[in-house]
Structure 1
């Protein structure tokens, strides 16, 4: 079985690439999906396709709706959803994705630093794991997909 992992959240660091390369190095049978991470393209998708809007609200509204087609579809098809909350920006869309995944009953891994623990306590409560680093996410994926736990002689030991 190939697992589908949806990677949601901040777009300003290399966390997605670190998870993807770590999963490849671990030989995990995974396929990664994500929202459009080109910030301007994502913001302008609605008006670029459906036509300009005079007011910023409607510009953003069209973009959000077009992006939601992708997001809802890919979260719905995911086996696991990983949501990253970064240090610099408020990722309201990431919080929405986490809630949407939780409502669908998707296994949810949340990633953020300690300073966001209070603000994200409800999101964390819905998650099955709360990690701080992409490497911890890879270790979780390795364990749940292959039953392999670092420090054990083989994956079978971890599953006992």
Structure 2
């Protein structure tokens, strides 16, 4: 049984590749999807589709509409959502995606370091599972197949 896993979280490092590699190393039948990880493409998509916008607000609004559409389609098709919170970047998109997954009743795994226990306590409480590492998240996925 192949599951679709939506990988929510910041797009500035290779954590997604790490999850995919670890899952493949365990021969887990998983397909991975997620947000647009090409930052420039994500920022430019509104103007690429709708043309030049009259200012920064409208440029961001146009891009957000299309990015949110993409996220909604992929997340609705996902069987599981992993939302990674890290220390290095602001995590607004991750929080939005995790909240959306929970509202859609998607089984959700939150990955967050120990120092974010307090600021993420309510979100962690709503998720199905909260772990501290990518390895632990992959172990949770592997347990499905035991």
Bin the TM-score by the shorter chain: over 0.9
Length, aligned pairs only:
146
Q: Could you list the runs of 5+ residues in structure 2 that have no partner in the other structure?
A: none
2:98 maps to which residue? 98
Structure 1 distance, partners of 2:68, 2:131, is 26
TM-score normalised over the length of structure 2: 0.96
Runs of 4+ in structure 1 displaced over 4 angstroms? none
TM-score normalised over the length of structure 1: 0.88
2:77 maps to which residue? 77
2:125 maps to which residue? 125
Structure 2 distance, partners of 1:93, 1:70, is 14
Task: Find the structure with the greater CA-based Rg.
Answer: 1
1:31 maps to which residue? 31
Structure 2 distance, partners of 1:82, 1:39, is 20
Which aligned pairs between 1:52-63 and structure 2 lie closer than 5 A? 52-63=52-63
Pairwise CA distance, 1:85: 1.2
Pairwise CA distance, 1:13: 2.0
Which aligned pairs between 1:16-27 and structure 2 lie closer than 5 A? 16-27=16-27
Deviation per residue, 1:59-105 (Å, 9 max, x gap): 11110100111100111111100001121111211111111111111
Structure 2 distance, partners of 1:90, 1:115, is 14
* Greater relative contact order structure (CA < 8 Å, 6+ sep): 2
Pairwise CA distance, 1:54: 2.3
Deviation per residue, 1:31-54 (Å, 9 max, x gap): 000110111110111111111112
